[in-house]
């Protein structure tokens, strides 16, 4: 099956966003990251800051916060409403070839055979150095910040998808960007889109 969409799930600080941009450049297709957040904000009336955080991470209350959240007449909490709108935006964007960064796109598009689903991760030391250098995070305790972010994404992913975040079997390919390098990760992913449809030499 020809591939036309790349979804990128990534640990905070692993370089997944940069890899997404590079893959999109190599393939000559749009990369939706910030634009995805803006689009969801536009369609929900929620602030971009709220969509950015709550569209792929649980609040500090974790799973309990989801359970206790106030619900509207439709039975949905704000985060559940956001989830349904975000899914709709992802499905809309995935009508054309593109790269989708974050937002549980691997799950939303799990039954689409034209997708390469990628998970990018790296050791905390690699990510800590990166978030201080590139995102301007304070250097006081970047490891603590990473652990919080990881936990928030894991809880959100489990709540909305019922799956374990970072289990190899959810993705076409998982890459340790700290070991492999950001540029080479992008090469591998672009190659998987370009190369599909070629024969498999196994006898």
**Is position 181 an interface residue for a second copy (rule: CB under 8 A)?**
yes
Instruction: Please identify which residue in 13, 15, 16, 142 interacts with a second copy, judged by CB under 8 A.
Output: 15
* Residue 111 touches a second copy, criterion: CB under 8 A: no
Cβ 60 to a second copy shortest distance, Å: 24
Q: Which stretch binds a second copy (CB under 8 A): 52-60, 86-94, 95-103, 165-173?
A: 165-173
198 binds a second copy (CB under 8 A): yes
Q: SS3 for 100?
A: strand
CA distance 184 to 175: 10
Length of the chain: 203
Angle, CA 52 vertex, CA 187 and CA 75 arms, to 5°:
125
Instruction: Give min distance, CB of 29 to a second copy, in A.
Output: 19
* Nearest partner of 103 among 42, 175, 39, 192, judged by Cα: 39
d(CA 37, CA 54): 11
Q: Which two tokens stand for residue 103?
A: 């937002």
Q: Which residues, 114 to 153, sit near a second copy by CB under 8 A? A: 116, 119, 121
Among 4, 43, 161, 176, binds a second copy (CB under 8 A): 176
Q: Candidates 129, 172, 190, 193: give the one binding a second copy (CB under 8 A).
A: 172
Least spacing, CB of residue 31 vs a second copy, in Å: 16
* Residue 165: closest CA among 100, 121, 132: 121
Distance CA 93, CA 126 (A): 32
Structural element, H or E, at residue 127: helix 124-134
Residue entry with tokens 């250098």: 133
Residue 194 touches a second copy, criterion: CB under 8 A? no
* Count of residues in contact with a second copy, rule CB under 8 A: 30
Q: Considering only residues 29, 76, 132, 188, which one is a binding residue for a second copy as defined by CB under 8 A?
A: 188
Decide: 82 and 138 in contact? Cβ < 8 Å: no
Which of 157, 171, 190, 193 touches a second copy (CB under 8 A)?
171
Residues forming contacts to a second copy in the complex (CB under 8 A) are 15, 18, 116, 119, 121, 166-169, 171-176, 179-184, 188, 191-192, 195, 198-202
């Amino acid at each position: 099956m020809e591939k036309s969409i790349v979804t990128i799930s990534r640990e905070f600080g692993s370089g997944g966003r940069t890899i997404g941009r590079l893959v999109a450049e190599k393939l000559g297709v749009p990369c939706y990251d910030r634009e995805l957040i803006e689009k969801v904000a536009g369609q929900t009336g929620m602030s971009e800051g709220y969509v950015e955080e709550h569209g792929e991470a649980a609040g500090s209350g974790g799973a309990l916060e989801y359970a206790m959240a106030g619900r509207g007449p439709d039975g949905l909490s704000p985060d559940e409403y956001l989830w349904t709108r975000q899914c709709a935006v992802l499905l809309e964007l995935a009508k054309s070839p593109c790269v989708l960064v974050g937002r549980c796109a691997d799950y939303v598009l799990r039954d689409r055979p034209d997708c390469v689903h990628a998970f990018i991760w790296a050791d905390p030391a690699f990510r800590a150095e990166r978030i201080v250098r590139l995102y301007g995070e304070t250097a006081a305790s970047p490891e603590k910040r990473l652990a919080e972010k990881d936990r928030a994404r894991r809880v959100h992913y489990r709540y909305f998808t019922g799956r374990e975040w970072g289990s190899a079997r959810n993705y076409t390919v998982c890459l340790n960007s700290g070991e492999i390098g950001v540029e080479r990760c992008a090469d591998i992913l672009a190659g998987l889109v370009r190369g599909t449809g070629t024969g498999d030499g196994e006898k």
